[in-house]
């Protein structure tokens, strides 16, 4: 199953396979990966030859990418990885920033809609939807970013209907993706 997750990530990033597997390009990346995972799972059962072709191409591309990464650049620091991840997130996206803020011994979460990123100062500004105020978080205190929720984590996990396919169309609940 872990192999399918890697392949789903590859399929969502690769335009050729995204098109061949009928994965909508205009939905959020996490939804593309979910759809790709389900399509690959179905493909492995229904069309083993096409699955093996996809699998071979994905493995070859993954090996090439790993070699290029090793040759081209040293490993990224935690702060640089967070900075790059934030650069790919659109303003207005609801984020949960996990990290050690202030004098906290245990990890805590700062959450809200992304307002801006200040690379020079190394900070991220969020707008708290719960308290209706802005808060600033230092990037070097963030351990990881969760952009998969659409509302306050204090209210519990956001429930979303499972993805389902009708013909070549994908739906989350009753909404077509």
Is the pLDDT at 52 greater than 80? The verdict is yes
Residue 132: its pLDDT value, please?
Answer: 86
What residues contact 60, with CB distance under 8 A and at least 6 apart?
none
The whole-chain average pLDDT of the chain stands at 76
Whole-angstrom distance, CA of residue 145 vs CA of residue 164: 27
The pLDDT of 38-64, averaged and rounded, is 79
Q: What is the DSSP string of 124-174?
A: EEEEETTTTEEEEEEGGGEEEEE---SS-GGG-PPP-PPEEEETTEEEETT
Whole-angstrom distance, CA of residue 150 vs CA of residue 158: 7
Residue 156: its pLDDT value, please?
Answer: 46
Q: What is the pLDDT of residues 26-36, one digit of tens each?
A: 777 778 888 88
Residue 125: its pLDDT value, please?
Answer: 92
Place 76 in a pLDDT band, splitting at 50, 70 and 90. low
More confidently predicted of 114 and 15: 114
């Amino acid at each position: 199953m872990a192999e399918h997750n890697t392949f789903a990530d590859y399929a969502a990033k690769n335009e050729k396979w995204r098109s061949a597997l009928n994965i909508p390009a205009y939905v959020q990346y996490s939804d593309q990966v979910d759809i790709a995972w389900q399509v690959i799972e179905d493909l492995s059962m229904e069309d083993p030859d096409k699955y093996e072709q996809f699998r071979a191409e994905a493995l070859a591309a993954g090996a090439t990418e790993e070699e290029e990464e090793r040759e081209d650049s040293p490993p990224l620091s935690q702060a640089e990885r967070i900075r790059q991840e934030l650069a790919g997130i659109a303003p207005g996206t609801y984020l949960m920033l996990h990290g050690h803020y202030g004098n906290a011994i245990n990890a805590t979460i700062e959450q809200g809609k992304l307002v801006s990123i200040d690379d020079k100062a190394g900070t991220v500004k969020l707008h708290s939807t719960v308290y209706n105020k802005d808060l600033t978080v230092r990037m070097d205190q963030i351990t990881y970013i969760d952009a998969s929720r659409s509302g306050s984590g204090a209210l519990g996990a956001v429930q979303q209907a499972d993805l389902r396919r009708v013909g070549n169309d994908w739906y989350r609940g009753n909404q077509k993706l």
